Structure 1
Amino acid sequence: MTDIATNVPEAAADGQMASRSLWATALLRLRRNKAAMASLCLLVIFIFAGVFGPMLAPHHYAKVYPDFVKVPASLEAYPREDAIIPEIESVVTRARLDLGSVELDGSTLRVEANSSREIDPRVTRYFDRSDLFSNARVVEQSSNGRSIVLAADVERLHFIFGTDANGRDLLARILISVRISLMIGVLATGVALLIGVLYGATAGFLGGRIDNAMMRVVDILYALPFTFFAILLVVFFGRNIVLMFIAVGAVEWLDMARIVRGQTISLRRREFVQAAEALGVNSGGILRRHIIPNTLGPVIVYMTLLIPKVILLESFLSFLGLGVQEPLTSLGVLISEGARNMRGAAYMLLYPSLALTLLLFALNFLGDGLRDALDPKDR
């Protein structure tokens, strides 16, 4: 008897330790979903790229390089050697010298030149006048002055993703566009989340005529075309990022409100809500403590699916020219520019489209994984 009595609490304790909360179970199920976890890792990479990428990029996203307009993507530095040699020949010819050997070591150029008469060391001015060379200097000159060795610095730039139609680094433009698109998606979703959850929970909990009146307002707002609404805002207030948050978030809360309202209607007659009412908890306290926390599962899932929708809407508006203003950019603006230059520079459309596609896939797969993990019918 003693052994049995002693073992019962230990078994109960073991059982208590083995039990998991609903959120812990959902996290465990999410970890088993390989597609969702891979999407989460990719999304984290995008977030780091958007936050820190523009600061770590080799070029500023707004800096223009007039000599490198629409240069294709390459791991080789620009200007290339086949462009440097003709420029050297032109400079040496203007200086009335005969070109000897040319050596290019990274960003340092070494030139040997000859002449039938003594060479004036001030010939370095011809190199400094060129757009490619700077800090020209005499390294060595023969005793008779007819042979000279010059050195000059060559600014060699790397454009891994190429440049756009204005000569700006496309990689830096994509990084800043990821930041802007994610910022618009998250903040506009936050606005929709705040308005939709409060509005839907209030309508579903109060019910009756108040619910009907509040839902008719939602139906009226549904009838307003989003593009027309955004154009009106642009006409009255101009184009800026804050306006994009307001325009997108003020429309996308409607779906959130309906989802939360449906969840609230199914929760308001549950036993724990009736117990709170019997204890004298007011309506605001019941909404804060019982209704809204129990709707977080569907809300989180819808939020992960709303962010890519908002990013697509922003890209659509930017494609129409109603989005962010220069020098800032977004993925929609880059795709619009790439579509206009698609024949001559297909990479301008390829890389922004690939970035947007990967970002949307990551958000959608993560949303699907969260939906499966938080589904109470599938436990």
Structure 2
Amino acid sequence: MSTTYPTEIAAPAKGRSLWDDARDRLLANRAAVGSMIVLAVITVLSIVGPWLSPHDYDAVYRDYVKVPASLEAYPRADQVQPAFEALAKRARVTIDSYERAGDQVIAQVTSRRAIDPRTVRYIDRSDLFKNAALSGFSNDNKSATMTADIDYKHFYFGTDSNGRDLMTRTFIAGRVSLTIGLLATVVAITIGVLYGATSGYLGGRADQMMMRVVDILYSLPFIFFVIMLVVFFGRNFVLMFIAVGAVEWLDMARIVRGQTLTIKRQEYVQAAEAMGVPDRGIIRRHIVPNTLGPVVVYMTLLVPKVILLESFLSFLGLGIQEPMTSWGVLISEGARNLQGAAWMLIFPSIFLTSTLFALNFIGDGLRDALDPKDR
């Protein structure tokens, strides 16, 4: 009796890792996916927006102070002639006739004495006109034809109390706020996870001493500590918020310590100890990876916390300084001008609240994805 053997052996099916399952659970969460899209759009606008904007974030337009947000270009049709007449009066010339041809203003001007060709500087200094010129002088140079192009500008978010484009400043403020939030959060998470995992795993006197250090740091006045940082680091907000992140790790250290006290009693940790794996290897390969769920959720809460902290410090004069700005600074300025210029508060608030909501929804999605026992 002959026996037949298969000529080919089927390859073993590729298994799915826990990270693959977590990714699928996260992508199935519509709120988390939508929040990631919103956060990505805000981040892209904050990075690319100031480069694409026709206005610099610190450019001041004295003729456009607190103009409302609009899709139409400034100046409006009814603003051109009064503005031109006011500038001509400052230049000490009289307008005999005024005509508008498309995007150009043509006026016959006269003066009691000879018209200086440098008079057009008064027109060019305005934010409403450009390329002003004089031509067709009379024999006595007391009359001429003045022309100027209307300089149209768009302010989609309006302008602030100094005449600066609010859209560009909102985008540049997003760079500052998001950078500060992420930078301080990364520092806090790194220190807090390593410190808390080490304290919880070692236990005993080492744990008691390490946690007493945390209690002592908790007792220090935070504002006093920030003032000391400003004294040492100056107005460099990057260095200052690195140091702020080095203080915000205290909550993270306690959270990770509590998780570690539970994890170190698990069978896989005890098996690693029995096999002679050193403490550093157990913490790196078993303790820290299994605390990622609470760590990621806390991180999504810490970013908005740091952003709000920066707003508070900037309000006290210890954070971002002009002409640089942040969402917190813009909201503080908008609140002071709420009655007459509501757009100064609305647009920065939309960006800040959208970011905060997105981070919270992403945190909920990550918690469900990384800890399926809670589902």
What displacement does 1:140 show? 8.7
Aligned equivalents of 2:338, 2:134: Cα separation in 1? 46
In the alignment, residue 228 of structure 1 is paired with which amino acid?
F
Per mean C-alpha deviation after superposition, the further-off stretch among 48-57 and 239-248 is 239-248
Does the CA-based 8 Å contact 1:174-1:331 persist in structure 2?
yes
Aligned equivalents of 1:207, 1:156: Cα separation in 2? 69
Aligned to 1:101: 99
Does the CA-based 8 Å contact 1:138-1:148 persist in structure 2?
yes
Q: 2:23 aligns with which of 11, 24, 27?
A: 27
1:164 and 2:160 equivalent? Answer: yes
Residues 92, 264 of structure 1: CA spacing in aligned structure 2 closer, same or farther, 3 A cutoff? closer
What displacement does 1:97 show? 5.0
Please state whether the residue corresponding to 1:129 is helix, strand or coil: helix
In the alignment, residue 254 of structure 1 is paired with which amino acid?
L
Does the CA-based 8 Å contact 1:268-1:291 persist in structure 2?
yes
Aligned to 2:357: 361
Write out aligned runs for 1:1-379 (5 A): 13=12, 16-17=13-14, 19-89=15-85, 95-105=93-103, 109-111=104-106, 113=108, 126-130=119-123, 131-132=125-126, 133-137=129-133, 151-378=147-374
TM-score, scaled relative to structure 2: 0.86
Q: Unpaired runs of 5+ in structure 1? A: 142-146
Aligned equivalents of 2:237, 2:345: Cα separation in 1? 23
Does the CA-based 8 Å contact 1:91-1:126 persist in structure 2?
no
> Structure 1, residues 286-308: CA drift from partner, whole Å, max 9, x if none?
21222212222221222122111
What displacement does 1:321 show? 2.3
Aligned residues: 368
Aligned equivalents of 2:291, 2:87: Cα separation in 1? 73
Identical columns (%): 61
Aligned equivalents of 1:344, 1:321: Cα separation in 2? 25
Aligned equivalents of 2:116, 2:231: Cα separation in 1? 58
Aligned equivalents of 1:211, 1:114: Cα separation in 2? 86
Aligned equivalents of 1:328, 1:88: Cα separation in 2? 33
Please state whether the residue corresponding to 1:99 is helix, strand or coil: strand
Per mean C-alpha deviation after superposition, the further-off stretch among 284-293 and 355-364 is 284-293
TM-score, scaled relative to structure 1: 0.85
What displacement does 1:148 show? 8.3
Aligned equivalents of 1:153, 1:241: Cα separation in 2? 42
> Structure 1, residues 45-103: CA drift from partner, whole Å, max 9, x if none?
12112222222222111122222222222222223222211233456785455315322
In the alignment, residue 61 of structure 1 is paired with which amino acid?
Y
Aligned equivalents of 1:252, 1:67: Cα separation in 2? 44
What displacement does 1:238 show? 3.2
Q: Unpaired runs of 5+ in structure 2? A: 138-142
What displacement does 1:256 show? 1.0
Residues 352, 90 of structure 1: CA spacing in aligned structure 2 closer, same or farther, 3 A cutoff? closer
What displacement does 1:357 show? 0.7
> Structure 1, residues 210-262: CA drift from partner, whole Å, max 9, x if none?
11111121122222232332233334543331343134212210111112112
Aligned equivalents of 1:259, 1:172: Cα separation in 2? 39
Q: Which has the higher helix share?
A: 1
Residues 86, 371 of structure 1: CA spacing in aligned structure 2 closer, same or farther, 3 A cutoff? same
Aligned equivalents of 1:290, 1:259: Cα separation in 2? 16
In the alignment, residue 40 of structure 2 is paired with which amino acid?
V
